[in-house]
Amino acid sequence: MIKVKNKEHSINLIKQMGLNSMPQSVLDKTDPEGIENFFKKNPAKEYVVRDIFSPMGKYKFVSGLEECLEYVSTIKADRFCVSVSFRTIPGRILLGDIYVKDNMVSLSASKDSSANHRNIYDNPQIMLNCELFDDRLWDVPGFEKLIDYINRFNLYDIVVEFAIFSSKVGTKRENVVIIELRSDY
């Protein structure tokens, strides 16, 4: 069983395990060159800057380096995460989280393009707690790709935040993007 201590640990695990994610990095606001290098290396329409120390911590969508620097100057912690946002990428099929243990699956998800990992729990379009062989799971768009990905990387007994796209995106150019792994926080 994988134990995840916090968001920074999740980011490091995603990289260590070779999981597909959006380009992201934990940065230090006392290192402006490191921050600038991330933006140069990962050009995008939108980024998300996140607090890595608090569950449900602050976050802000920014359009580039200057807006990022302005925002991080207002936060207390020196370390934070910046990732390329997938909000502007077309073709998202499903967004949610899944927990698989033995043959039991808990899935909260949405097909709505305006959904995010904060609001899907308020009114999820899809909320299933059932056995893996339940037909309702296999009717969920992209579920087969998701469960194949979970099998391939042995992502059992851990909450996996994900997004599924019709095209291949992310650092490994796959349909399934892992946003976060959670267990103990």
- Tens place of pLDDT for every residue, the chain, 185 residues? 788 988 899 999 999 999 999 999 999 999 999 999 999 999 999 999 998 877 667 889 999 999 999 999 988 889 999 999 999 999 999 999 999 999 999 999 999 888 877 777 777 899 999 999 999 999 999 999 999 999 999 999 999 999 999 999 999 999 999 999 999 64
Structure confidence at residue 184 (pLDDT): 64
Q: What is the DSSP letter of 40?
A: H
Structure confidence at residue 6 (pLDDT): 85
pTM of the model: 0.92
Residues 6+ apart with CB under 8 A from 96: 107, 108, 109, 110, 117, 120, 124, 126, 161, 162
Q: Classify residue 14: in a domain, yes or no.
A: no
Q: Classify residue 75: in a domain, yes or no.
A: yes
Do 96 and 170 belong to one domain? yes
Do 114 and 78 belong to one domain? no
Q: Classify residue 126: in a domain, yes or no.
A: yes
Do 33 and 15 contact (CB within 8 A), yes or no?
no
Q: Classify residue 50: in a domain, yes or no.
A: yes
Q: How many residues does the chain have?
A: 185
Do 96 and 79 belong to one domain? no
Q: What is the DSSP letter of 67?
A: H
Structure confidence at residue 158 (pLDDT): 96
Cα angle at 9 between 50 and 181, to 5 degrees?
80
Domain that residue 164 falls in: 92-182
Q: At what angle do helices 32-41 and 65-72 cross, to 10 degrees?
A: 140
